Amino acid sequence: MPDFETFAHRKQQLQDHYERLIALIAERGVVPEPEADLALLRGARDALTGDLLFRVLCVGDFSTGKSSFINRFLLEQDLLPAWAWPTTTLPTRIRFGAQTRAIRFRPSVQEGADLEAEEVTENIAETLKNWVSTAAKDKVTDRAFPVIVEAPAPRLAAGVEIVDAPGLNDPNPERMKLTLDYLHQADGVLFFINADKPWTKYQKDFFDGELLIRDLLGRLFIIVNYWDCVPASEREEVLDYIRQQVQASLARRGTALTGQPIPILPVSAKTGENAALIQQEVWDVLGARKSTDVLALRVARFNQEVAKYLGLLDDRLALLGLDAQGQSRRRAQLQQEVKDYEQQREVFLAGLSRLLAVEFQSYRVDFQRLFEGLEADVAALQQEALAMRSTKDVNDLLARRISRLQKQAARQMSDLDAAFLTRLKATIEQKKADIRALPSTAVTIEEYVLRWQGLDGNPLAQAAPLAGGVGLAGLLLGAGTFWQTATLTTATPGILASVGTFITGAPAATASSFMLLGVPAIAIGGLLIAAAFFLRQNDQTKLAEQVRAACAQLAERVEDEKWKTLDQLKTNQAQRIAQICADVDDDISRTWRETIAELDAIQHIEDQGAALRALRDALQRLTLRVNP
């Protein structure tokens, strides 16, 4: 690839890489607060346009074909005025633009404004004749500001700006000064001479007095225009003459050429002859020089910016990787624990369900025995009451015995419930230990039970919060048991309904359910029935009949509630066991959810590291070779 095309390609590449770097810094979190960095990067990117601009100055006598050369080899159209007599009187800057237009700046007539711009997009060639030719106004103020011409020419698109200077043999010193001012700004100087009149005295004086005194070697080119006017037989002689004159000027200045001599390039702006020579000797040489002098430095600066951000990412990656091996081992351990639990879970829950079924069956047997003992106590109470002759004695007996019966049944029920719940907890915790699940942190049996989920999916403790002052006895006799065996004043009704309903499946509002209302309520109800009848009867025969009827009714209700309750226990056992297993599974799953959360945290760290490494790779790919 020719050097100029290489320069243009690398310039565009650098600009593109700046855009990508800015996007990465803005969007990918390379630095926590990127605003300051982005401002610096955007400033460096914007400065490339000026830093990497090719400014080429065309100087020479009037009518040496400078404007014709630009029209032919750069603009590829006749825009700039070119005649045989002096034409260009204002510096004309030619640069790339999306559309062809001409712009000139003049002192503003408006108060507070220094300059005003005038833009033309039609009849540009004719307009330029009026703006820059010697036929136009000859005022210093008009010549103080260059004319700008923009055109969508391919060569200009690479960042080339041509300055077409007024002729050197212009008698107006102001125009001459404008030309000299551009010499120190130019990346390349094209010194035009006329092949028909090579190396005039004025050209020699300007070459010696203005060009050689400046450091222009390597960027100075002698363009011998009108080459088509020189006969083929005389061309070599013309070139030899110009070379001799250049060598003589260098000798007078005591300047020794190193490397390539000052290029002497014969061209014809009229015919386009030696266009390839211009490409090779001017644009490629300037491109190589600009690459070395400017572009390489800008690339090095860009690479330093990239290296800075790579260093920041390396520091963050180092922090993430401090315990990478430990994290990897921990991940493997946690993954194995989760895998083991998932494999053991089904077997664990099936085994737990079987053990709970045994405990429920044992509880039903114990509960049936309690009912049978209650029935025997009612029968004994009947026999003792029948032996009495006084209504008052019967009433006193019933009051004493029913109160004792209430306390005895409540105590037995409490012991039965406490033993059942204790066995359930021991069974569950033993099965959890078999799979190395963490034990429950509940301190008391009531705390353990009230963590279970009720029929509504909420913990029983949420469904029925404890009243103040209710301790273990209250929980086991009411709130903490499955059956309401205490008077309604000894425990919170909400908990009674929640726990009792959970096990029996009976509605909380069913007043006839023994499991919900309990022994005391039934016994008191029977006492009230008997007392109301006994108070109206004083006959001995009638009294015995009433005692038998009342005790029979009480025994019948106890019998009815016994079978109703046992049937409910049997009917709901499978559902309740499944619910308890689900609660236990959920409780264990919390441990595994914590494990999975730890796995997720490790994964997040690894993902963060992967994202940082991907970002680092993206930054690394932006690094450019300084000198390809």
**Token couple for 386:** 């029948």
User: In the predicted model, what is the mean pLDDT of residues 430-453?
Assistant: 77
For the sheet with 160-164, list strands across it.
Answer: 115-120, 101-107, 147-151, 92-96, 160-164, 54-60, 188-194, 220-225, 264-266
Predicted confidence at residue 464, as pLDDT, reads 41
pLDDT tens for residues 387-399?
Answer: 887 778 877 887 7
Please give the pLDDT value at position 113: 61
Which residues have C-beta within 8 Å of that of residue 466, sequence separation ≥ 6? 474, 475, 479, 492, 495
Q: What pLDDT score was predicted for residue 54?
A: 84
The predicted model gives 216-243 an average pLDDT of 92
pLDDT band at 480 (very low <50, low <70, confident <90, very high): very low
Inform me whether the pLDDT recorded for 145 exceeds 80: no
pLDDT score of 165: 84
Q: Cα torsion at 375, 378, 384, 385 (round to 10°)?
A: -150
Between 417 and 240, residue with greater pLDDT: 240
Predicted confidence at residue 94, as pLDDT, reads: 92
Question: What mean pLDDT do residues 148-175 have?
Answer: 82
Chain centroid offset of residue 133 CA: 61
What is the domain partition of the chain in residue ranges? 55-98+150-290, 325-455+517-613
Which residues, in sequence order, are CB contacts of 494 under 8 Å at separation 6+? 463, 464, 465
Picking from 480, 504, 482, the residue whose alpha carbon sits closest to that of residue 564 is 504
Cα→Cα distances 92→67, 89, 97, 145, 175, Å: 10, 9, 15, 9, 12
Least confident of 36-45, 277-286, 319-328, 462-471: 462-471
What are the tokens at 11?
């310039």
Average pLDDT over residues 240-259: 79
- Mean pLDDT of the chain, nearest integer: 76
Which contacts (CB < 8 Å, 24+ apart) does range 340-344 have? 340/435, 341/435, 341/437, 341/588, 341/592, 344/435
State yes or no: pLDDT of 143 exceeds 50: no
Q: Which of 141-150, 247-256, 284-293, 369-378 is predicted with the least confidence, judged by mean pLDDT?
A: 141-150
According to DSSP, the β-strands at 92-96 and 147-151 are parallel
Does pLDDT of 471 surpass 50? no
Residue 281, pLDDT score: 84
Residue 465, pLDDT score: 38
Q: Mean of the pLDDT values across residues 157-164?
A: 87
pLDDT of residue 472: 26
Contact 483, 449 (CB under 8 A): no
Q: List Cα–Cα distances, 235 to 14, 207, 227, 264, 267, in angstroms.
A: 44, 22, 8, 12, 11
Nearest Cα residue to 596 out of 588, 259, 516: 588
Is 322's pLDDT higher than 90?
no
The residue ranking higher by pLDDT, 81 or 304, is: 304
Return the pLDDT at 112. 62
pLDDT: is 249 or 460 the higher one? 249
pLDDT surpassing 50 at residue 378 = yes
Listed in sequence order, the DSSP H helices in 464-492 are 472-474
**Residue 223 reports pLDDT greater than 90:** yes
* Amino acid symbol at 475: L
The most confident of 198-202, 333-337, 474-478, 527-531, by mean pLDDT: 198-202
- At residue 468, what are phi and psi to the nearest 5 degrees? -65, 135
Segment among 8-22, 131-145, 406-420 with least mean pLDDT: 131-145
Q: How far is the C-alpha of 330 from the C-alpha of 327, rounded, in Å?
A: 5
Class assignment of domain 55-98+150-290? alpha beta
Q: Is the pLDDT assigned to residue 142 strictly greater than 60?
A: no
Where does the pLDDT of residue 523 fall: very low under 50, low under 70, confident under 90, or very high at 90 and above? very low
Confidence of residue 508 (pLDDT cuts 50, 70, 90): very low
pLDDT at 30: 83
Crossing angle between the packed helical segments 540-622 and 324-386, to the nearest 10 degrees? 170
pLDDT higher than threshold 50 for residue 518: no
